[in-house]
Structure 1
Amino acid sequence: MVLIQVYTKCIKTKYKVRLLSKGTLIFITTTALSIILPFILAYQSKGFWMKRDIFYEFPDVRFQGKYIFAASTNNITLPIVCSSYPELMKYFKSFSSCSQIKVREIDYNNDKIIDELFLGLKINLPGNMEIFSFTLMLPLYLKLHTPSCPLEMISDIILQQQMPKMFSNLTLVGNLNVEQFYPLQCSSKKINTAFNYSSVKEEHILKNFKIENIIQNQKRKNITTTVSNMLVIQESKDKNHFMLNLKIKFNEQQFYYDPHFLQIIKWAWVQYYVIYIVIQCIAKKIMNYIFENRLVLYYEKKPNKID
């Protein structure tokens, strides 16, 4: 006759001890160690509490339509100052030589996020005037669409270029780089607008438009923008004007932030539970060894026994 197994069942045996006994002491000790020891081991392994986390996003960057261009020439009494700020041009209107400005925002993949910014600036040069150096300031509107960490702010690009030799056509090509000084305070229910203000205070005070003051106001912000990997292309053509072409490519950036409490607990619980399983298995084997070998006094209770 062939026999097959169709059903199995385990018989549960209970081991009972008195309240004040060695068995109770061993039970309390092993239970406490199986709970506390995993926490100690996980904490001492470093990185138990998640203090920082990062995410990557392609920021939505838009040109605000404002700029400041200031250049020093071979005539110290005739600098060149061009700007779209009317408050600044009240003082430097006679020094403005910019005759043309072109701005183009390019979206290559049609995802409604700008991939490249082009700016062309034409400056007329009367007589034998030459430009030795210049500073260009462009305010940008930066926005993050991450649901867990939305952000809206105004940042600035400040370019300073030395020209040991006069060129009539200068092209600058680079990538937008986001610099962060401390973690973001993220909230999915509120957009972070703590730095949504311009570094240029548009008031009738000339010192607000000084480059050093603009840079200081920019550095007070947590996030700043710079141009990295910049290539310089110089050409000599017509000496009656100076043509500045700027191409900035926007790419994916890294941002770091302070994680939420639930995110910290989730990461810590995974580390704790992995060690807890190992410690719990060891504690269970110790308890089985003690009670099966009758190393302590106990009362055995099985389902087929009557109390």
Structure 2
Amino acid sequence: MAFYEVYSHPALIRYRSSVCTRATLFVLIVFGLTYIPPLLIAYRSQGFWLKRSTYEEQPVVQFQYQMLMIGATGTAGEFVAWSTFPNFNRLLGNNLRIPSVSVREEDSNQDGKSDRLSLQLAVPLKAGEQIYSIQLLLIFSYQLFRMSTVVMQSLAFIQHSSSVPGSQLFISGDLTLHQRTPLPHRGLHTAYNVSVVDGASPFASAYDLTNIIRAYQERNLTTHLSCPAPVWIVGRAVNAPFQINAEIRYPVESVSYRPGFWEVIKFAWIQYISVLLVFLWLFNRIQTFVFQNQNISQ
């Protein structure tokens, strides 16, 4: 006749001892060796406390329709310029050239956030004028909301020069975020929500690109236009304007931040538990062997 297992259950064996015995001392030593070394191993293996983390977010970027353009027309310091700041334009005198401007922002994935800016400037020139270099400053509103709420004014700076006079400059790049230090994991940050250019100032120093860029680079959060290959086109027709065509994309950004308390604890706890499980299994087997074989007297 064949026999089949119909039921099973483990047998529980309890080992009792008074306080001042070798068995009690052994259990205390095993307890310490089980729980303390995993903590030391996890801590000494680097990265036990999470000090920096990242997340991805599509920023809310809006072009502010504020621009400043300077074009060199010769080697003797001649230039033409224009901006959306009336005080700067009044300082230019005969160097002022008012371009025709076309701006279009596109939301290609229909998520309510702009993904791309298309900008065209046609700069009129006088007879005999040629453009050898161009500098263009564009100002944006830049916002983040997922962790910290960040509201700031940022810029994109376009610059190119050539020994040959051009008829058109084509730029295609990404407006990327740069951080010096991580952001907090929460809170409202509006320290940089001020205009990059002081358009109310009547002084020329307020519109000097050196001063503007120097002050801008002192910030923790900045944006830069990443453009690996600007295209300089030569052969301008007589009386034709100089063209600036820019395509600027607003990519998803990887934002660095300092984690909060519970995120730090969760990260540390996972590392500790992963090592502790090995020690629990090992010392459980050691205790079972010692007490089953009665290797420790009372």
TM-score by length of 2: 0.91
Partner of 2:194: 197
Partner of 1:232: 231
Partner of 1:38: 38
- Residues 1:207 and 2:210 are matched in the alignment: no
Partner of 1:303: none
State the distance in 2 between where 1:168 and 1:239 align.
10
Q: Which amino acid aligns with 2:143?
A: K
State the distance in 1 between where 2:110 and 2:257 align.
29
Q: Which amino acid aligns with 2:107?
A: D
Q: CA RMSD in A?
A: 2.1
Partner of 1:282: 282
Partner of 2:248: 248
Residues 237/212 of structure 1: CA separation in 2 closer, same or farther (3 Å cut): closer
Q: How does 1:267-278 map to 2 (within 5 A)?
A: 267-278=267-278
Report the Cα offset of residue 55 of structure 1.
1.3
State the distance in 2 between where 1:27 and 1:283 align.
10
CA contact (8 A) 2:236 2:242 kept: no
Secondary structure, counterpart of 1:65 in structure 2: strand
State the distance in 2 between where 1:281 and 1:139 align.
61
Partner of 1:217: 215
Higher mean C-alpha deviation, range 201-210 or range 155-164: 201-210
Aligned residues: 295
Partner of 1:302: none
Secondary structure, counterpart of 1:282 in structure 2: helix
Report the Cα offset of residue 76 of structure 1.
4.0
State the distance in 2 between where 1:237 and 1:130 align.
9
Report the Cα offset of residue 294 of structure 1.
1.4
Q: How does 1:1-307 map to 2 (within 5 A)?
A: 5=5, 7-74=7-74, 76=76, 78-146=78-146, 148-187=147-186, 190-204=187-201, 205-228=203-226, 229-240=228-239, 241-298=241-298
Identical-residue share of aligned pairs (%)? 27
Higher mean C-alpha deviation, range 240-249 or range 61-70: 240-249
State the distance in 1 between where 2:247 and 2:294 align.
82
Report the Cα offset of residue 53 of structure 1.
1.1
Structure 2 residue runs of 5 or longer lacking an equivalent are none
Q: Which amino acid aligns with 2:216?
A: Q
Residues 79/233 of structure 1: CA separation in 2 closer, same or farther (3 Å cut): closer
State the distance in 1 between where 2:197 and 2:274 align.
54
Report the Cα offset of residue 265 of structure 1.
1.1
Q: Which amino acid aligns with 1:261?
A: F
CA contact (8 A) 1:39 1:272 kept: yes
Higher mean C-alpha deviation, range 168-177 or range 279-288: 168-177
Secondary structure, counterpart of 1:164 in structure 2: strand
CA contact (8 A) 1:186 1:192 kept: no
TM-score by length of 1: 0.88
State the distance in 1 between where 2:172 and 2:12 align.
76
State the distance in 2 between where 1:65 and 1:294 align.
85
State the distance in 2 between where 1:75 and 1:233 align.
18
Residues 208-263 of structure 1 deviation map (CA, whole Å, 9 limit, x = unaligned): 21111111121122222222233315142423221211111222222211111211
Q: Which amino acid aligns with 1:202?
A: G
State the distance in 1 between where 2:278 and 2:182 align.
36
Residues 230/55 of structure 1: CA separation in 2 closer, same or farther (3 Å cut): farther
Report the Cα offset of residue 5 of structure 1.
5.0
Report the Cα offset of residue 77 of structure 1.
6.1
Higher mean C-alpha deviation, range 60-69 or range 227-236: 227-236
State the distance in 2 between where 1:79 and 1:137 align.
16
Q: Which amino acid aligns with 2:100?
A: Q
